[in-house]
Structures are given as structure tokens and as C-alpha cells.
A and B are shown apart, each in its own frame.
Chain A
């Protein structure tokens, strides 16, 4: 057997044969997940096919986040329908509206290095932060995986990214994700996986990794995985109390290409409307008026995001409307204990937890016509956060926080 990349290693184990890029395989799945908005559709597909049967109840994770708390009767109806399924099928891993966003639940509680994880949401790639091959799929594919415990895949071409050095001031995972999008554009990694090797593991913590993996789908990669290392071990031990087994690529494994990012030379980046790959250095957009700022989502709703926002907002008042949403109860509570929430509330932000609302233009902060939004979420597609005539700028937490204070897009390096 030749030297294998992480992608090939995971998919060889999952399919029980020695795989190479381009192979069409049937892979066993380790975890399947869905949330409220896609979950009802998954169950509907199973019902219509008369195949309400989950291959292994312990391997299904359900979290309510998109319609949480329900903004209308239909949303409440959808959640009620799923609660009924949870009860009738006896699904143990269920998180109602009071826990958090599915992808955050997955990395905090379930995802392990080397696993194959499928969920009915595109940002499933987030679990790549801990070195899992994690893909989003539609309702029918997820229903089929839930019934059989398997899925079919085309083995992607692995591409290696090396992160070197320590991040420059205010640089976090979002800037790395935006750099990859700006340098390669949204179509380049189609049919590929990204495997990210962090030279100095502790310089790039799990929060940052989760953001980059999350946006792997914006790069149209099949999966984006951080090669598991001591930071992966540290994180899972801290969150769940055990040390995971690390799955890593073999020495001499072959990649289609390799790309290095120097973290210490990076500048804060922003994706301008209406495309995730329309990436600019923040000072090119300085002075753009901002009506609303959103700090949160499965992309940037973690503790380090709130730490940065609190550092910047301490003792000041926001000029733009600012909505801040930690990605889970755990994140909210920790941010509360550390005083970050107090600081944000004192600065004039609205803070809650457990919803995806604003990110997808669902509820809790819809953009109106002509408004400019700075958001730490994952997408700035036309109409994404509400009106087709709104403009969404994507940034990391530092740019978002300082822009909320100034009421216009601002370079955090002025601080």
C-alpha cells in the first residue's frame, strides 16, 4: 500500500478497501446529523418511502438552531414534528432550542479524528476542525444514510495547506478562510479536500480551525480537515474528558498541490458583496457606513470571537445596531462568566444564544433594503440576510466589533 493522505486514509477505512482519488465508493458513516429546518424534510422523505428506520440511534444527532426559538407557527409545527420523531424512535442525542447550533454541538460533543460525518446542512464541514471527513448533503441523501448507515462518494483529490508562524494581531481563522477564498476563488477546490497542517499547533487554536473548516464549503471543497495534532487532543480532552486517537496522513503521501500561508504576515480581510471570494484587505473598504453588525453563527460564535469583541468594545458604545450570538449554551455561559457578555451588553449589543436566525435571513435581525451589514457569518450571497438590496460584508470578530463602534468599516489595527 502506498503512502496515504488523511482523505485516503479515512475513506479507505470507511469503505473497507484501498481507495484513490476518483474512485466511486460506498462508505460507512460514523455520525449523521440534522437540525430543525432540514430535519423535517429528512423525516418526510423517510416517511414517504415508508422507511422510518434509523440504522443506529446512537449515531444520529439532532439540534434545533435554524428556527430557534420558533419565530412563527410553521416553525413551531416543524419542531413539534421532529420532537415527535425523537420520542417515537427514541433518539438519545437530541438538543432542543436551549443548547446551540448543530455544528458547534458536533465539535463540542461528538466529532472525532478520522470519522466520516454527514449532516443535512452545508456547514457540516465544521467538524473537519478535529480531523473528521465531514460533508453536508440534502435531505434524501441524509435519509438514505440514516437508513443504511452508508453513503456513496467520489474520493476527492487532496490538496495540502500549511499554516506557518503565529497569527499577526487581530488575525483569526476567518482571515485564513477569506485568504484561501480570495487567492483561489470559490470554484477552485471543487472535487478536492483540503488538509491543513499547522506547523505550530498551539498557535492556531480549535476556535480558529472551526471557522476555517466551516468555510470549506464556501470554497466548494468536499471537506476541509485540519490534520489532527496536540491541539486536537487538548480540545477533545477539555470538552469531553478523554484523549482521542489521532489519525494522520502517512509520510510521503501525495497531494495534487501544496500552498503555504504565513500567519504573521496576514492582514485583516473582508469579503465584499455579493460573493464570498470578493476578498479585500480591510483598509480598502474603510469608511463604508454600517447599519448592523452580527457577531455569531456556526462560523464565528465561539469564545475567542467574544473575547476579541469584548476587548474592543470594553467601556465604549456601539454606533451601529449590533447582534451577538454565541454558538452554544456552553459558549454563552463561559462568555458570561468571563464578563464578555456584560461588556457587550454595556456597549449596547443585543446578546442571546442558540439561534442561526440572522445568518440565513431567517429571523432575529433581517437586513432591510439599502442596508450595509458587517457579519462574522459564512455567506454574503445576494438576499442571504434578508433584502436583495442589502449588502453583506463578511469579516472576523475584530473588524466586526470595531466597525460596530465606529458605525463604519474600520481597520482594527488603529487600536
Chain B
């Protein structure tokens, strides 16, 4: 799976209260959530993201709450993938379960500049920036199967069909 787009950068510890504040959690409609994504840091983010962007961030992206709306909102706003130094475990799973690719890359914020254009191989984790190739950690094993199936519930349906046959 190859994904490409311009980069919007964030720092370390982007938490779920930043990605989607708790007051919006009474809803799950992706379009509604998208309008409020990253609101505490940048209320205009969803407009910038709407053309399809790749987020590059630092440590433990998505730390905090288990709210799946964080991944749903990012994807609905137009974020095609998130590249970060590390991810919070729950967010990582929520991203996979909602078809949002997540790539781990040490020193990501130093290696990739804001507004640069990147091309990512989601499985190998290879990131092409200009003529530089960065070696990240892509999605492997069970997580890849879930992502390819279109989320955990789709994966489950597929498994049930396989087991029945």
C-alpha cells in the first residue's frame, strides 16, 4: 500500500484531548468529528487537512483516552497516514481498526520538514522525502491483516467466513 501527500507537523505527546476533545464524544459521525479535530492546537486544521495530508509527529502520538473518535476524526478530516516517533498503544490499534495507516520513524520530526511531500510504503515503512529514503517501521503481522480487511470487525467477518468454509 503506497500513500503520498504533503506534511503537517506536530510535536511530542499529541494527546487524545487535543485530537478530539471530550465534549464531542457523544457523537460518532465522522464528518461532525472531522470539523473539531486538533481544535485546541489549531481550529483551522480540518480545512488544511481536507485535501489529504500526512501528519508527522514526535513521541507517543495519541496518548491518553481510548476514544476511537480520535482515529475516526483524523481520517475523516483527510489525514491519510500518521508518521510518529512512537504511538500510544490504544491509538495505534484504533487507527488500524479504522483504516488509518500508522508508521513509526525514529527522529521523524527532525528528518521530515513541514510542507514537504512524502511517499510512504505502509508495509515496509519506507518513506521517500525528495530523494532521501527513510527507514521506518511499517505495519506487520496481525495489524496488517486487520488494516487490509478494513478494520477489526471486517476482519472478524472474514475470519468467520473462512472458518465456516
Interface 0/1 of B45-79, CB less than 8 Å to A? 00000000000000110011111110100000000
CB contact list, B1-27 vs A, under 8 A:
12-13, 15, 17-18, 21-23, 25-27
- The answer to whether B94 touches A138, judged by C-beta atoms less than 8 angstroms apart, is yes
Q: When A74-B26, A144-B153, A381-B18 are in contact, do A187 and B59 touch as well, CB less than 8 Å?
A: yes
- The answer to whether B15 touches A381, judged by C-beta atoms less than 8 angstroms apart, is yes
Residue B152 CB within 8 A of the other chain = yes
**Closest chain A residue, CB of each to CB of B27:** A74
Interface residues on A, range: 35 or more
Distance of A139 Cα from B33 Cα, bound (Å): 16
- The answer to whether B63 touches A147, judged by C-beta atoms less than 8 angstroms apart, is no
Please name all residues of chain B whose beta carbon is closer than 8 Å to the beta carbon of A217 when the two chains form the complex: 64
**Closest chain A residue, CB of each to CB of B151:** A140
Residue A131 CB within 8 A of the other chain = no
Residue B90 CB within 8 A of the other chain = yes
Please name all residues of chain B whose beta carbon is closer than 8 Å to the beta carbon of A45 when the two chains form the complex: 153
Contact for B86 among A148, A190, A360, A361, CB less than 8 A = A190
The total number of A-B Cβ pairs within 8 Å is 115
Please name all residues of chain B whose beta carbon is closer than 8 Å to the beta carbon of A122 when the two chains form the complex: 64-66, 90
Distance of A217 Cα from B17 Cα, bound (Å): 14
A77 to chain B, nearest CB (A): 9
Please name all residues of chain B whose beta carbon is closer than 8 Å to the beta carbon of A187 when the two chains form the complex: 12-13, 59-60, 86
Interface 0/1 of B126-155, CB less than 8 Å to A? 000000000000000110000000011110
- The answer to whether A361 touches B156, judged by C-beta atoms less than 8 angstroms apart, is no
Q: Could you show 21 A-B contacts with beta carbons less than 8 Å apart?
A: A24-B142, A45-B153, A49-B154, A51-B157, A67-B26, A135-B90, A137-B93, A140-B68, A141-B94, A144-B152, A186-B59, A187-B12, A187-B60, A190-B60, A217-B64, A218-B63, A220-B60, A361-B22, A362-B22, A379-B17, A388-B40
Measured CB to CB, the residues of A under 8 A from B are: 24, 37-38, 41, 44-45, 48-49, 51, 67, 74-75, 78, 120-122, 124, 135-141, 143-144, 147-148, 152, 186-187, 190-191, 217-218, 220, 222, 275, 360-362, 379, 381-384, 388
Sample of 13 further A-B pairs with CB below 8 A, known A138-B66, A138-B90? A41-B28, A41-B69, A136-B90, A138-B93, A140-B97, A148-B156, A187-B59, A190-B86, A361-B17, A362-B23, A379-B15, A379-B64, A381-B15
